[in-house]
């Protein structure tokens, strides 16, 4: 079975994340959306909330599951017997960071392969931080996040 991890903080999961996850699910037998605890980033949503939102947002994808993790990605991949990491790339700045992460992961585990999926133009600018900022000003998030995330953000920001 070809199992891949799609890791991230997902604070919150966006339409861009869903695009990458959906496309990965088309080429892999199973995709595990690996939600990182990322306590140092001080996320808006708790780990449990991020996992629940990601599960709701991906419920329509039968070969996708969502799991939290709080360890090195390579260790989590080993735990799940995943040999592939799928990452989305939006811009050159993403590439530089992801290239460094991939090189580091390769040094730690040369059996873990990374595949990059390029974002389509409509998601090139989209990030969780942009979504949080729009939400903080009560902007329209309809095109940027699934409905469950929009509702959760409205609750967080008191809309």
Residues catalogued as catalytic = 17, 41, 90, 128
Three-state secondary structure call for residue 35: strand
Per DSSP, 81 falls in state T
Tokens of 42: 């001080």
Distances (CA, A) of 132 to 106, 127, 140: 32, 9, 11
Looking at beta carbons, which pairs linking 61-64 to residues 24 or more positions away fall under 8 Å?
61/21, 61/22, 61/25, 61/31, 63/25, 63/28, 63/29, 63/30, 63/31, 64/21, 64/25, 64/30, 64/31, 64/32, 64/33
8 A C-beta contact, residue 5 and residue 77 = yes
8 A C-beta contact, residue 56 and residue 151 = no
């Amino acid at each position: 079975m070809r199992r891949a991890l799609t890791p991230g903080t997902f604070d919150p999961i966006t339409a861009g994340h869903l695009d990458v996850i959906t496309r990965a699910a088309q080429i892999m037998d199973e995709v595990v959306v690996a939600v990182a605890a990322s306590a140092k980033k001080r996320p808006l949503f708790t780990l449990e909330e991020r996992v629940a939102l990601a599960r709701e947002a991906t419920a329509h994808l039968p070969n996708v599951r969502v799991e939290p993790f709080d360890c090195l990605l390579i260790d989590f991949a080993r735990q799940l017997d995943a040999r592939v990491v799928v990452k989305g790339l939006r811009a050159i700045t993403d590439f530089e960071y992801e290239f460094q992460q991939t090189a580091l992961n390769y040094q730690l585990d040369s059996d873990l392969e990374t595949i990059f999926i390029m974002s389509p133009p409509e998601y090139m600018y989209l990030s969780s931080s942009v979504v949080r900022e729009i939400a903080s000003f009560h902007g329209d998030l309809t095109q940027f996040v699934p409905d469950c995330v929009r509702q959760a953000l409205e609750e967080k920001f008191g809309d």
